[in-house]
Amino acid sequence: MRIVKCFPGGKFKALTLSYDDGKDADRKLVEILNRFGIKGTFHLNSGLLGQNGRIHADEVKSLYQGHEVAAHSATHPTIARCPQEQMVHELFQDRIALEALVGYPVRGLSYPNGSHSPNIRAMLPLLGFAYARVVGSTHGFGLPEDWYQWQSTCHHNHNLIDNAKKFVSFNKTQYLYLMYVWGHSYEFDLDQNWHLIEEFCKITGNRDDIWYATNIEIADYLAACDRLQFAASLEFVYNPSALPVWLNVDGTVVEIKGGQQVWLA
């Protein structure tokens, strides 16, 4: 028997985006993503909302509806240079303030100024963070090996269209492919290249073979996959998570709902 995990619906490709700082240009970016059915994660500095061209606190919940709001520290310091107490305050207070705006647990992080260290990474699970994105690109399409050093496929200014065309062309279902794009929405204004993200969305959006997900949806789904409990014989499997999980069993897609035990043979 051949069993492999799938993304929801039995898909083998997933796409996610990640944008930092919560600048006014997020409004236009969200509108574009919504038009093409693409989801993003938006990392906000709660202590800077409404300042220096940033969106206002009272629009956070409605603007990012259907996407993920995640942390970026309260005031954007270079946290690896800060006392540990300040680092904890910056990250935890950002969670508290953002959760009060959106009404759900904020469990993702983008390191401010790309700043992190082994000590900071070790603290993140204790502060309630499930993942953290670093600066840098792999130009690959694999799953993260370290959830607290999650690297993107590319910044939107670095081979975005070539990577998008490569991503949509993948057809080997024995692999799971993840394309992850990051950046800052205000860069589209500075570089006058909004056409770039429009072209990207036209290539990758509204497709039946791609799972469009936020960063936390990917982290939670793959965690649920890892929690599956298989019989030693592989004849059945139990899903102890609330999330449904999909498997490909000898070429047939099987959904294992939360709390369900399913016979595979």
Q: Indicate the pTM of the whole model.
A: 0.97
Q: What is the pLDDT of residue 106?
A: 98
DSSP secondary structure, 70-129, as one string: EE--SS---GGGS-HHHHHHHHHHHHHHHHHHHSS---EEE-GGG---HHHHHHGGGGT-
pLDDT-based confidence at residue 208 (cuts at 50, 70, 90)? very high
Instruction: Measure the CA–CA gap between 184 and 193, rounded to whole angstroms.
Output: 12
Averaged over 206-213, what is the pLDDT? 98
**Mean pLDDT, rounded, for 221-235:** 97
User: What SS3 class is residue 204?
Assistant: helix
Contacts of 227 (CB under 8 A, 6+ apart): 239, 240, 241
Tokens of 241: 């998570």
Task: Find the largest Cα–Cα distance for the chain.
Answer: 60
pLDDT band at 249 (very low <50, low <70, confident <90, very high): very high
Provide CATH 3.20.20.370 ranges for the chain: 8-223
Q: Tens digit of pLDDT for each residue in 18-74?
A: 999 999 999 999 999 999 999 999 999 999 999 999 999 999 999 999 999 999 999
Encoded amino acid at 240, one letter: P
User: What is the per-residue pLDDT for 172?
Assistant: 87
**8-223 CATH fold:** TIM Barrel (3.20.20)
Predicted pLDDT at 70: 98
Q: Read off the pLDDT band of 265 (50, 70, 90).
A: confident
In the predicted model, what is the mean pLDDT of the chain?
97
pLDDT tens per residue, range 162-176: 999 999 999 988 899
Q: What is the pLDDT of residue 174?
A: 85
Q: What is the pLDDT of residues 109-142, one digit of tens each?
A: 999 999 999 999 999 999 999 999 999 899 999 9
The helix-helix angle for 26-35 and 194-204 (nearest 10°) equals: 20
How far apart are alpha carbons 44 and 73 in whole angstroms? 7
* pLDDT tens-digit readout, 94-116: 999 999 999 999 999 999 999 99
Q: Which residues pair with 23 in a beta bridge?
A: 54
